[in-house]
Structure 1
């Protein structure tokens, strides 16, 4: 099976790997650590990519991109995630906030928001989940009520990644009630600098910035902050989630670490228990399967025909891969204990294992993904 996607994609992959090796420290493990210098490294590298037209590669030129193929943008996703996402939190703006504003935003919203994203100058967070309304997103209670020619928003969001550093929030709130809970929801684009917004970090094993509570206390916005049609936000969110769930190429880091394992152990590789090496090989096969599922969804997205079940199937495959590969890698890494020459590999595996624990919960729990998939299968039968 050929996974290169052609000469242009291969050249881009080589270019990105070279730039990462030159400009990102070897011990970099993401922007969201206890060391503030890691965030600076990511922000600098993000702007560096933007200056060279490599950040929003597949965006139309009129919005700051290069009009490249979705496959070249997929290469960027893969190489960034494989190397601890040196763009920082920009994948959110690049992968789905920007494209959603392109499709549903006004001309003024496009002019305001798309250039800063394309330049790597702005960080977005997502105001979706709430206490008691995580996987059941449509049951959210954050409310926006009409006031004059604008809106007043009050409520609480939780598990909001990057809220402490974000300049803007892609916020879903209830604007009316209907026969179904999915009716009467509206998307707002709100500035995080407003004093009516309070952010409280939640400490976790993922490190700073990842998980936060966000409170909206009579936040005042105007019609200019509404994205799309009032009360029709659910259709926008469904589209967003289909992009978000395939936007992180988790399989790329799994495969990179699995391929590194025999190289790191060298002569000791053959001394590993045979069942552990068999499980290692099985995880590599699962990586290829997840990659193919991702490519299938990317192709569907490019043709405008992706369904929730398509993204859900990929999400199930890649998040379970994240966890199973992390477990195998942790067992392999244990055989290198006491060897200072492979410390970097052990730390990379430890980082991968920590992130994998949240994989089947974030961006919609695996149970909800299975429900979405089952609904699509029933509808197609």
Structure 2
């Protein structure tokens, strides 16, 4: 277990790093930068400091620190709006999934590249006709000699145009129960048959993509875990994705601007901002409870879904308060507000829509 002193030391190290990079003009703080801020050099800097894969066992290159230590690091990175997209997915969920379920060969191939920030991962989960209902995926992997042959499409795949590897959820058998017959793979993005098509968002940025798999061969050893056990594994993995602080700190840079401007506004406006700060404290408490659950070996599916659901509502409410304060008639809208607003349609979708999350919260056991 990490001590409070260790947490504070990690926070101080990250604060020093991001302050240095900002002073050098190497990045600009903004909302949603954990997804949009792709800077391999920044990720390399974190790697050199041992700040990627810190929860993994030492034999896999990690530091064997608890999830609370990683939470301390990620809170500081998100608070600073740092450009962490190059390593975020690999560090957050793919690495832990490979540690838990990967073969010895897969671990040896994948984990060092994530920790060194040489590998960039994208998530091949959502599909055009499935969306947040991952059990409805149609991408199919057919077994053949030496591996699998994959055919299908994935959509809203953030960072696929930068990725060296993809996590892929595919169906490997057709069953009456859609939660069965799913399998996870790790796929090289330069494999023949993969096509990445850009999706430009409302802000004019390109981080979403559609990815087509046209008879793509995946070697046998790139199977993650057991064939047909993908649903159980992906539900576990989503606890890492949905339960992280990026689910409520995406708009923190905008909230910081609101707080800085609060002294110039009426008491009722300051009360609104104060209410946001109080909600943030509650969300942080939930995140810390979830990290401790992961450290205890649990799979907090409902807890993670609850955090994401409440966190997304919080992020949108930050934008709404900023709209009333910064987007008034006759003034130029605050640039941080505009950037967060244009990015906001994706907040509630990625990692599961509200309807899917509420369904998970209502159930005591996953299927």
Normalising by the residue count of structure 2, what TM-score does the alignment of the two structures yield? 0.90
Please list every run of 5 or more consecutive structure 1 residues that lacks an aligned counterpart in the other structure: none
Instruction: Find 1:246's aligned residue among 243, 248, 252.
Output: 243
Which range is displaced more, 139-148 or 328-337? 328-337
Match of 1:45 in 2: 42
Native 8 Å contact 2:53 2:95 kept in 1:
no
Which range is displaced more, 351-360 or 323-332? 351-360
Larger relative contact order (C-alpha < 8 A, sep ≥ 6)?
A: 2
Native 8 Å contact 1:265 1:336 kept in 2:
no
Match of 1:185 in 2: 182
Instruction: Find 1:356's aligned residue among 331, 344, 348.
Output: 344
Match of 2:222 in 1: 225
1:301-340 correspondence runs (5 A): 301-334=294-327
Instruction: Find 1:70's aligned residue among 67, 79, 103.
Output: 67
Residue 12 (str. 1) matches residue 10 (str. 2): yes
User: Equivalent residue of 1:200, what SS?
Assistant: strand
CA distance in 2, matches of 1:358, 1:93: 20
CA distance in 2, matches of 1:87, 1:321: 22
For the structure 1 residues 150 and 70, does the alpha-carbon distance in structure 2 shift closer, same or farther, using more than 3 Å as the test? closer
Native 8 Å contact 2:34 2:88 kept in 1:
no
Please list every run of 5 or more consecutive structure 2 residues that lacks an aligned counterpart in the other structure: none
User: Equivalent residue of 2:52, what SS?
Assistant: coil
Match of 1:155 in 2: 152
Native 8 Å contact 1:171 1:187 kept in 2:
yes
CA distance in 2, matches of 1:296, 1:319: 18
Question: Over aligned residues, Cα RMSD in angstroms?
Answer: 2.4
Structure 1 residue 282: deviation in Å? 1.2
Instruction: Find 1:234's aligned residue among 231, 239, 259.
Output: 231
Native 8 Å contact 1:297 1:306 kept in 2:
no
Match of 1:84 in 2: 81
Which range is displaced more, 94-103 or 222-231? 222-231
Structure 1 residue 257: deviation in Å? 3.9
Residues 131-157 of structure 1, C-alpha deviation per residue, up to 9 Å, x if partnerless? 110122111111111222322110111
Residues 86-131 of structure 1, C-alpha deviation per residue, up to 9 Å, x if partnerless? 2223111001100100010011100100001001111101111111
Structure 1 residue 248: deviation in Å? 4.0
Residues 18-51 of structure 1, C-alpha deviation per residue, up to 9 Å, x if partnerless? 1101024363544876xxxx64xx2111111111
Match of 2:212 in 1: 215
Native 8 Å contact 1:323 1:357 kept in 2:
no
Structure 1 residue 338: deviation in Å? 6.0
CA distance in 2, matches of 1:261, 1:5: 32
Native 8 Å contact 2:142 2:148 kept in 1:
yes
Match of 2:293 in 1: 300
CA distance in 2, matches of 1:93, 1:206: 26
Native 8 Å contact 2:67 2:294 kept in 1:
no
User: Equivalent residue of 2:142, what SS?
Assistant: strand
User: Equivalent residue of 1:312, what SS?
Assistant: helix
Native 8 Å contact 1:83 1:253 kept in 2:
no
Structure 1 residue 358: deviation in Å? 1.7
Residues 285-334 of structure 1, C-alpha deviation per residue, up to 9 Å, x if partnerless? 11111111111111111112233211111111111101011111232233
Residues 169-202 of structure 1, C-alpha deviation per residue, up to 9 Å, x if partnerless? 1001111022311111111111111120001011
Match of 1:164 in 2: 161
For the structure 1 residues 262 and 293, does the alpha-carbon distance in structure 2 shift closer, same or farther, using more than 3 Å as the test? closer
CA distance in 2, matches of 1:85, 1:262: 19
Native 8 Å contact 2:34 2:246 kept in 1:
no
Match of 2:362 in 1: 374
User: Equivalent residue of 1:202, what SS?
Assistant: strand
User: Equivalent residue of 2:65, what SS?
Assistant: coil
CA distance in 1, matches of 2:216, 2:355: 33
Structure 1 residue 348: deviation in Å? 2.8
Match of 1:100 in 2: 97
For the structure 1 residues 348 and 5, does the alpha-carbon distance in structure 2 shift closer, same or farther, using more than 3 Å as the test? farther
Match of 1:23 in 2: 21
For the structure 1 residues 253 and 172, does the alpha-carbon distance in structure 2 shift closer, same or farther, using more than 3 Å as the test? closer
Native 8 Å contact 1:175 1:230 kept in 2:
yes
Structure 1 residue 265: deviation in Å? 5.7
